Amino acid sequence: MEAIKELLGTSLGNISLGSVCSAIITFVICYCIGKIILKLVNKVIDRADKLDAYFKKLIKNVLRIVVYVIIALTVAGALGIDTTSLIAAFSVIGLAVSLAVQNTLTNVAGGLMILFTKPFVVGDFIETSGMSGTAIEIGLSYTKIQTPDNKIVCIPNGDLANTRITDYSTKDTRRVDFTFTASYDAPVVTVKKALYDAFEETGLYLKDPAYQIEVSNYGESSIEYIARGWVNSADYWTAYFAMNEKVSETFARHNVEMTYNHLNVHIQQ
């Protein structure tokens, strides 16, 4: 028994063999407990349907690092090492790193906010910062948008989280707005009938809500009309261009003159 005590009392500097054995036992216990905690937390995270898959993975990795750091500090304490200085060192290193990568951290924070609040998801057609396109990837630092002309634009999440975002894919239907002008010589009823026929003949506009066709302004040489119709979101641009083409046909059929800016000069003798 005395021999065992003497052996455990053998030390190398401030670290004794007894403290090494105690640290090993502490490590095994802490490691097992940490594994159990991570397993339980991971199950809870996996069941959170509102969290994005990328966000789930990030939370798991951060928790794993936190658990391992706690285990390391606990083992260091069992070895007789002053953990206060270690914590202070980690704090200084963390502060230096955070200052060096301040912009990156801003983007990461913006990415976490986007992943958590979900102002849009991958596959949505969005407009932001004067740019529009389909979101194809929401990363931790950047969000990738594919423009209609097939360009890939990477937007920093820090900027994206602090600007206005318009999501065109959230709703199943969208309203298409038009402004047309017609001559004063054309009766208002006739112009409205021509616009109504244009909506009908495209075959893309929904009957409910009903079309809205109204006089919006009396100009110097023409009357201005607004025409609004609802379509399925996927048909927006097809319906928009089809309406512009069809109005030319229906105006001609109803003898409605499409006006343009011009000046009539009358000379009197």
Q: Is-above-0.75 flag for pTM?
A: no
Q: Is residue 247 part of a domain?
A: yes
What's the CATH code of the domain at 193?
3.30.70.100
Residues 178 and 236 reside in one and the same domain? yes
Count of structural domains, the chain: 3
Residue-level pLDDT at 132: 87
Per-residue pLDDT reduced to its tens digit, 116-146: 788 888 888 898 878 889 999 887 778 899 9
Q: Which residue has the higher pLDDT, 192 or 5?
A: 192
Residue 151: give its domain's CATH number. Answer: 2.30.30.60
User: In which domain, by residue range, is 234 found?
Assistant: 173-253
If asked whether residues 60 and 135 sit together in one domain, one would say no
**92 has a pLDDT exceeding 70:** no
Q: 206 and 238, same structural domain? A: yes
DSSP letters along 162-188, please? TS-EEESSSSSEEEEEEEEEE-TTS-H
Same domain (yes/no): 248, 180: yes
pLDDT in tens, 25-62: 888 888 888 888 888 888 877 776 656 666 677 677 77
CATH code, domain with 87: 1.10.287
List, for residues 209-260, the tens digit of each pLDDT value. Answer: 999 999 999 988 889 999 999 999 889 989 999 999 999 999 999 999 887 6
Q: What is d(CA 61, CA 136) in angstroms, rounded to the nearest whole number?
A: 24
**Residue 176 in this model has a pLDDT that exceeds 90:** yes
Q: Is residue 5 part of a domain?
A: no
> Are residues 240 and 192 part of one domain?
yes
| Residue at 109 is within a domain | no
Question: What is the amino acid identity at position 235?
Answer: D
Domain shared by 139 and 216, yes or no: no
Q: Are residues 19 and 96 in the same domain?
A: yes
Indicate the average pLDDT of the chain: 80
Is there a domain that residue 7 lies in? no
Distance CA 108, CA 116 (A): 12
Output the pLDDT for position 86.
64
Same domain flag for 200 and 229: yes
